Amino acid sequence: GIQVEQSPPDLILQEGANSTLRCNFSDSVNNLQWFHQNPWGQLINLFYIPSGTKQNGRLSATTVATERYSLLYISSSQTTDSGVYFCAVDGTGGFKTIFGAGTRLFVKA
């Protein structure tokens, strides 16, 4: 089945810093989503982005489907950005959402 790898696994930032999180996938995908899991466990939709670029405030995402990766950019990080960021994909061989292991982000005040 499709493999999803996220990097880095852990990231510590000073408040105000920028960061880039990466999601690599091993096969063609129909769908790709980015989620933020906050420290209370809630999963929050960030982007639905099977291809192209989207922006929402300080966050933006780019998916290059032909090269099998997606990037999540966080600018001017805030302590509330802390948590785990997941990439999830659906391969073209039928529905089956696969999650990456996540990037754990801690933003220091």
Partner 1 sequence: DADVTQTPRNRITKTGKRIMLECSQTKGHDRMYWYRQDPGLGLRLIYYSFDVKDINKGEISDGYSVSRQAQAKFSLSLESAIPNQTALYFCATSPGYSYEQYFGPGTRLTVT
Q: Which of 1, 96, 7, 92 is nearest to 51 (CA)?
A: 92
Min CB(68)–partner 1 separation in Å: 18
Q: Which residues bind partner 1 (CB under 8 A)?
A: 4, 30-31, 33, 35, 41-43, 45, 48, 86, 88, 90, 95-102
> Is residue 76 within 8 Å of 16, Cβ to Cβ?
yes
Min CB(33)–partner 1 separation in Å: 6
Min CB(5)–partner 1 separation in Å: 11
Based on CB atoms, which residue is closest to partner 1, 15 or 96?
Answer: 96
Based on CB atoms, which residue is closest to partner 1, 18 or 55?
Answer: 55
Burial class (CB in 10 A: 0-12, 13-18, 19+), 31: middle
Based on CB atoms, which residue is closest to partner 1, 13 or 32?
Answer: 32
Based on CB atoms, which residue is closest to partner 1, 83 or 102?
Answer: 102
For the chain, the residue count is 109
Min CB(26)–partner 1 separation in Å: 15
Burial class (CB in 10 A: 0-12, 13-18, 19+), 17: middle
How far is it, in rounded angstroms, from Cα 50 to Cα 10?
24
